[in-house]
Amino acid sequence: SQTIHQWPATLVQPVGSPLSLECTVEGTSNPNLYWYRQAAGRGLQLLFYSVGIGQISSEVPQNLSASRPQDRQFILSSKKLLLSDSGFYLCAWSGGLAGGDTQYFGPGTRLTVL
């Protein structure tokens, strides 16, 4: 069966510090991968998605970036965090059917920027 991991579970970082959140998927190959941010009362905001190694689509201009160095690994990064980067970050994967496959979500990372 497929599983999706995210770490760390929680993170407290000072403004201006770098960020690296990691997401890995097991039990499937060539998944579509997604990063979302969830702010209180604002639902899920799609940040990045990837349909293959090295292929990253950015949805929202910001100081975050994403990389996919391996088929089942998706990394969210920042060189300098802002207060507004605080939130709950969710990684998800889906199969190959464009728009039609179920997304499966990881447990999330709670990021607090102070």
Residues that bind other proteins (CB under 8 A): 32, 34, 36, 41-44, 46, 49, 51, 57, 59, 88, 90, 92, 94, 98-108, 110
Name the amino acid, one letter, at 18. Answer: P
> What is the rounded distance in angstroms from the CA atom of residue 110 to the CA atom of residue 94?
22
Shortest approach of other proteins to residue 70 CB, angstroms?
19
E strand or H helix at 48 = strand 44-52
User: Do 58 and 47 meet the contact criterion of CB atoms below 8 Å apart?
Assistant: yes
Minimum CB distance to other proteins, residue 110 (Å)? 7
Task: Report the residue number, 61 or 99, with the smaller CB distance to other proteins.
Answer: 99
Residue 34 C-beta: closest distance to other proteins, Å? 8
Cβ distance to other proteins smaller for residue 83 or 98: 98
C-alpha 50/C-alpha 48 separation (Å) is: 7
